[in-house]
Amino acid sequence: MAGAAGAGRGGRRRRAEPEVRPVPLPAEGATAGSSPVVVACEVRGELPAAPAPGITTQLRIDLNPIDLTDPDDRAWLAAFIRPQQVGELATLRAAIDVAWALPTPVVRGDAVTDTGRILAELPGSEPVVVFTASLLGYLTAGERAAFLPSCARAGVRWRGVSAETPGLLAASLAVPAPLARRTTSHVVAASLPDHDELLALSDPYLRRLAPARHPADDFTWA
């Protein structure tokens, strides 16, 4: 897997955090990756045994990118953390340090109108993964309907990985009806050339993760 692009709406309307790499997710005493940024995650079930694919290039698309060299932008990010959340503040500061050390190119653009164009302009023939997290809730119904077809402009190269609210994801992927009614969880899903797959259920901040037990899992147990 040669590349990954993250699409987001950005701006001052929502919390936007710097993309960092890698981020270990300790689960039941285990870790994945090595980084000063550590996110604790309770795993319910078994994690996949397959190794993570390699990523050679990353690119972010943001409507209003955060400038981490700007003290005001850093203060704006910190303002979303409550005074008693000492650990979260330390995580943010570590994430900023990693983002400085390993900068990811950021393109100013709109997820709906610009992602497809940017994908179509990428050189090479390697697969390109578009990752979104909590994006669909910031789009109108028409924008949500247009987003995935715009990504398909990349042709056979395009793959999608998303962490979104089940009900919103159900408009474009096959989500079991009981799962689609859940509003406090996110579904981690993959869109592949020949099929879509629900990979896991999580809370919006990845503090809990329930990997799918089988391809048709409806996560009623999670």
Q: CA triplet 62, 63, 65: central angle to 5 degrees?
A: 60
Output helix, strand, coil percentages for the chain, rounded to the nearest 5. 30, 20, 50
Helix axes 86-101 and 71-78, enclosed angle (nearest 10): 140
* Average pLDDT for 162-178: 90
Residue that wins the pLDDT comparison between 107 and 11: 107
Q: CA triplet 113, 117, 119: central angle to 5 degrees?
A: 120
Domain ranges of the chain: 3-15+37-67+105-211
The confidence score (pLDDT) of residue 18 equals 38
Whether pLDDT at 197 is above 80: yes
Per residue in 3-20, pLDDT tens? Answer: 555 666 544 444 334 343
The confidence score (pLDDT) of residue 95 equals 92
Per residue in 42-70, pLDDT tens? Answer: 999 888 877 777 888 889 999 999 999 99
Whether pLDDT at 122 is above 90: no
The confidence score (pLDDT) of residue 166 equals 94
Helix axes 141-151 and 111-121, enclosed angle (nearest 10): 0
Residue that wins the pLDDT comparison between 175 and 32: 175
Sequence-ordered alpha helix ranges (H) in the chain = 71-78, 86-101, 111-121, 141-151, 166-169, 177-180
CB neighbourhood size of 15 (10 A):
11
Residue that wins the pLDDT comparison between 94 and 38: 94
The confidence score (pLDDT) of residue 11 equals 44
Q: Which residues contact 152 (CB under 8 A, 6 or more apart)?
A: 116, 158
Q: What is the largest CA-CA distance in the chain?
A: 48
Per residue in 143-162, pLDDT tens? Answer: 998 998 888 777 768 889 99
The confidence score (pLDDT) of residue 101 equals 87
**Tokens coding 61:** 């698309």
Q: Are 95 and 37 in contact (CB under 8 A)?
A: yes
